[in-house]
Amino acid sequence: MSPIRIGGIEKFSIVDFPNKMASVVFMQGCPWKCPFCHNVQLQDVNAETNIVWHKFIDFLNTRKGILDAVVFSGGEPLVQKGLIDAIKDVKALRFEVGLHTGGYRPEFFSEVIEFVDWVGFDIKAPLEEDRYKIVTGGVGDVEKVKESLNILIESGKSFECRTTCDPRFLDIEDLYKIADTLKGLGVKEYYLQKYRKVESDVNASEEKSLSLVENDELNQYLSDCFEVFDVRK
Ligand code: SF4
């Protein structure tokens, strides 16, 4: 039986796990409703999918020596309990494992983390209750996000934090605030990501996002805060 429900696969990616050639598994299901989500079709964990896990494992078997890693993305991979078995299948083939998460479920994240080699952790807003509620469509619990981030930091695993700069929900002051919080927690690697327009957004928000990610003063500040900082456009 398939351990997980998969909404999509990207067979080759060089941007989802630093310095690795990876396959990306887009897992079905996400409890959040971020207004800038580009994977809305992945939100419903019960949606029809036709990707079979063992066929992906067959594919991985043919890519030994070509691929370095498999990244579990979403959706929110922590939704599905079968994630751990899926990771073990991948590890048995000696691929590294990456995980993209917003950290919504710390109790499960604390079980998963030992099997993971690298984590891309989304910081969607300043770590404050009201702000997180807004950027997650009213459902995100910032206390859980903070708990997950602490688990990640204490795990000693390699990770990055990143923020998508949707100017409808974030301004420059928010980005300074996020940086100060993350620096205070000891985060070493941080990225600003340009927002890409979603269909429901009728304003010129994509263009405005550039004014956030291309702000020289902010970028200098972030470079000083973190050992590694960069902008992704
Ligand atoms: S956490 Fe990711 S997948 Fe879930 S709604 Fe937000 S952007 Fe979409």
pLDDT in tens, the chain (233 residues): 568 999 999 999 999 999 999 999 999 999 999 999 999 999 999 998 999 999 999 999 999 999 999 999 999 999 999 999 999 999 999 999 999 999 999 999 999 999 999 999 999 999 999 999 999 999 999 999 999 999 999 999 999 999 999 999 999 999 999 999 999 999 999 999 999 888 888 776 788 889 999 999 999 999 999 999 999 99
Q: Whose CA is nearest to atom 1 of ligand 1?
A: 32
pLDDT at 35: 92
- The angle formed by the CA atoms of residues 15, 20 and 26, to the nearest 5 degrees, is 55
How many residues does this entry show for the chain?
A: 233
pLDDT at 142: 98
Are 77 and 99 spatial neighbours (Cβ–Cβ below 8 Å)? yes
Q: For a pocket test of ligand 1, which of 28, 33, 71, 76 has the largest count of ligand atoms closer than 8 A to its C-beta?
A: 76
Helix axes 142-155, 172-185, angle to 10 degrees: 40
How far apart are the CA of 135 and the centre of ligand 1, in A? Answer: 10
Alpha-carbon torsion, ordered 160, 136, 212, 178, to 10 deg: -50
Residue 13: partners with Cβ closer than 8 Å, 6 or more residues away: 21, 22, 23, 24, 71
Provide the token pair at 101.
């998460």
pLDDT at 205: 76
Any atom of ligand 1 within 6 Å of the Cβ of 32:
yes
Are 83 and 100 spatial neighbours (Cβ–Cβ below 8 Å)? no
Q: To which residue do tokens 């994240």 refer?
A: 109
Quick check: pTM over 0.85? yes
Q: For a pocket test of ligand 1, which of 16, 25, 34 has the largest count of ligand atoms closer than 8 A to its C-beta?
A: 34
pLDDT at 82: 96
Q: Which residue type is seen at 198?
A: V
Q: What CATH number does the domain located at 6-165 have?
A: 3.20.20.70
- The angle formed by the CA atoms of residues 134, 9 and 39, to the nearest 5 degrees, is 20
Q: For a pocket test of ligand 1, which of 25, 27, 30, 41 has the largest count of ligand atoms closer than 8 A to its C-beta?
A: 30
Q: Whose CA is nearest to atom 3 of ligand 1?
A: 75
Provide the token pair at 147.
């708990």
d(CA 34, CA 30): 10
Kindly give the number of the ligand 1 atom that is closest to the alpha carbon of 137. 5
Are 70 and 97 spatial neighbours (Cβ–Cβ below 8 Å)? yes
Choose among 122, 188, 125, 104: nearest CA to 153: 188
Any atom of ligand 1 within 6 Å of the Cβ of 196:
no
d(CA 27, CA 49): 10
pLDDT at 1: 56
Any atom of ligand 1 within 6 Å of the Cβ of 91:
no
